[in-house]
Amino acid sequence: MFHIVYYEPEIPGNTGAAIRLSACTGARLHLVEPLGFNFDDKHLKRAGLDYHDLANVTVHKDFDALLEELGETRIFAFTGHTENNYAEQTYEDGDVFLFGRESTGLPLHILNHPAIYKAVRIPMQPHRRSLNLSNATAIALYEAWRQHGFAGSAPFS
């Protein structure tokens, strides 16, 4: 399955929504410290509902620790600073979707890191700053999962 990475997330509700997304899709969620909240935050718990025990979440002390755990894998860095459309990519099982802080996005030293396979963007109207982090994550993850026939999903009844 796929991996979601939040690099230094700041807003607990977005991470809570990502926990729920992870539980519902089977994607692994990785959080790179420092976090702008703690796991006792009521907004994190509310957004994640009762999915916390169903999600696979790992907290990493820094980007290098994340890379060490992931090993050799393709990392797609989501940013507004590229022309590469996320929907024009072909995703492979095990790919990583990396998102930056809500306030500033990914820093240049991460975007330019040799471990980054490709920087991609989600198209939107001109002169808009960004999508909500958890919404952008869902858009990206569901496109990749769609390309794999929603493998592992429950059949419609």
User: How buried is 129 (Cβ within 10 angstroms: 0-12 exposed, 13-18 middle, 19+ buried)?
Assistant: exposed
Query: Angle at CA 39, nearest 5°, toward 45 and 95?
Result: 90
- Average pLDDT in the 6-23 region? 94
Which range has the worst mean pLDDT, 9-23, 33-47, 52-66, 112-126?
A: 33-47
Domains defined for the chain, CATH in brackets: 3-147 (3.40.1280.10)
Measured CA to CA, the distance from residue 119 to residue 25 in angstroms comes to 23
Structure tokens at 135: 């919404």
Is the confidence at residue 28, as pLDDT, over 60? Answer: yes
pLDDT digits (tens, 9 = 90+) for 93-119: 999 999 999 999 999 999 999 999 999
Question: How far is it, in rounded angstroms, from Cα 6 to Cα 16?
Answer: 12
Task: Specify the range with the lowest mean pLDDT, choosing from 12-16, 25-29, 36-40.
Answer: 36-40
pLDDT score of 39: 74
50 has pLDDT over 60: yes
Does the pLDDT of residue 151 top 60, yes or no?
yes
Residues contacting residue 141 through CB under 8 Å, at least 6 positions apart: 2, 4, 21, 25, 27, 97
Q: What is the pTM of this model?
A: 0.93
